[in-house]
Amino acid sequence: QVKEKQIGDYSFLLNDKIGSGSFGKVYKGKNTNTQQKVAIKVLDKNEICMSEYLLQGLIMEIKILRKLKSEYIVQLTDVLETPNNFYLIQELCEGDLRKILKQKKLLPEQQAIKIIQQVLKGFMELQINGIIHRDLKPENILISNDIYKLADFGLSKTVDNFQRQLMISQVGTPLYMSPQILMKEKYTSKCDLWSLGFIFYEIIYGRTPFTGKSQYLLIQDFQNNKVVFDQGIQCSDKCQDFILNCLKIQESQRFEWINAYKHDLFKLEFQNEIIQFNEMENKSNMIINELRQFIYKNKIDIEYVFKQMDTSKDAIIDINEFSKLIQQFDESITRLEIEYIFNKYDIDQNNFITFTEFSKCILENQKTNKQIVQKTFYRYNFN
């Protein structure tokens, strides 16, 4: 008889494993107080916590994941820790997109659009919070009550910074990863758009747009061949256009996220989100321009500004250090708005701003609104 494992208010059987991934194993369990069924992800500290810095980064990311609230994201409800493991308690879903595709191979265009629309709603929440998924694939799109939800994101961010090989040492070919990740180049959140287009194509056509028995052959395939749309399967021009804009090899040519939401396929569904996104984008640009103009007008050295912000003297700026500066330019700014601006500076999205990232944002050549130029910039005391 298999022994039941008890962790805090939760229990699970070791033979009730429902999945595994780069970071550990997932078990079907329950809350022993409420009897509610849950998914319990067990993370082995020995495998991922290779340093105190990495451990602290992981803890910080877990805090971020816990505050994400969207019905299109698998909810993280609790986190427990023992000397050997972390235990992430998540909502239990009944299946995933991979199982659906195995059963039906392909789905009608309208159903595919509905799935991608829900995935985009999940990504809206990730975008606002500066989270890159990096490992989007059908197995990581879970289903609960006919709602498709993003799972297994965020944790890869900390590990990726210290152990890039984890991203490409999975069993089999990392089929859905963007060219930049596969070729170990710098990448942004647009890596997730590549994966999204890849999956969209697979849902409609029952096969992936590119393939390869090895990572090398996969790279060769998308470098040497174009996306082919089978004329025998219904796929509208709008769908093809969306997929092609996701599957641009160079990130500079790929969709901007806001353009994905504004695309003809989805713009009606995302009207309110686009308004919110635009408001935050405009406000962040205004504040960044205020800071830029203050520095230029007063001929202040950018490195000096950075060092004044860096109160911990560790050559990086965290969100708390950054917020003290931003609040000098707008006392009414919300925490969410500060985080949104912070994420624009944090180009590699590792939860810290380096001097290179800060100076790039300040030196960026943008047209400045006349109203911004005319404002008084003597608000921040750098002494």
Give binding residues as ranges: 41
d(CA 192, CA 198): 10
For residues 353 and 345, what is the distance between their CA atoms, to the nearest angstrom?
6
- Binding site membership for ATP: which residues? 41
- Give per-residue burial for 281-294: e unless 16+ CB within 10 Å, then b: eebbbbbbbbbbbb
268: phi then psi, degrees, rounded to nearest 5? -65, -35
- Please give, one letter per residue, the 3-state secondary structure of the chain: CCCEEEECCEEEEEEEEEEECCCEEEEEEEECCCCCEEEEEEEEHHHHCCCHHHHHHHHHHHHHHHHCCCCCECCEEEEEECCCEEEEEEECCCEEHHHHHHHHCCCCHHHHHHHHHHHHHHHHHHHHCCCCCCCCCHHHEEEECCEEEECCCCHHHHHHHHCCHHHHCCCCCCCCCCHHHHCCCCCCCHHHHHHHHHHHHHHHHCCCCCCCCCHHHHHHHHHHCCCCCCCCCCCCHHHHHHHHHHCCCCHHHCCCHHHHHHCCCCCCCCHHHHHHHHHHHHHHHHHHHHHHHHHHHCCCCHHHHHHHHCCCCCCCECHHHHHHHHHHHCCCCCHHHHHHHHHHHCCCCCCCECHHHHHHHHHCCCCCCHHHHCCCCCCCCCC
Look up 135 and say whether it is catalytic.
Answer: yes
Q: Of residues 135, 152, 310, 346, which has the active-site annotation?
A: 135
Rounded to an integer, what distance in angstroms lies between the CA atom of residue 5 and that of residue 351? 35
Catalytic annotation, residues = 135
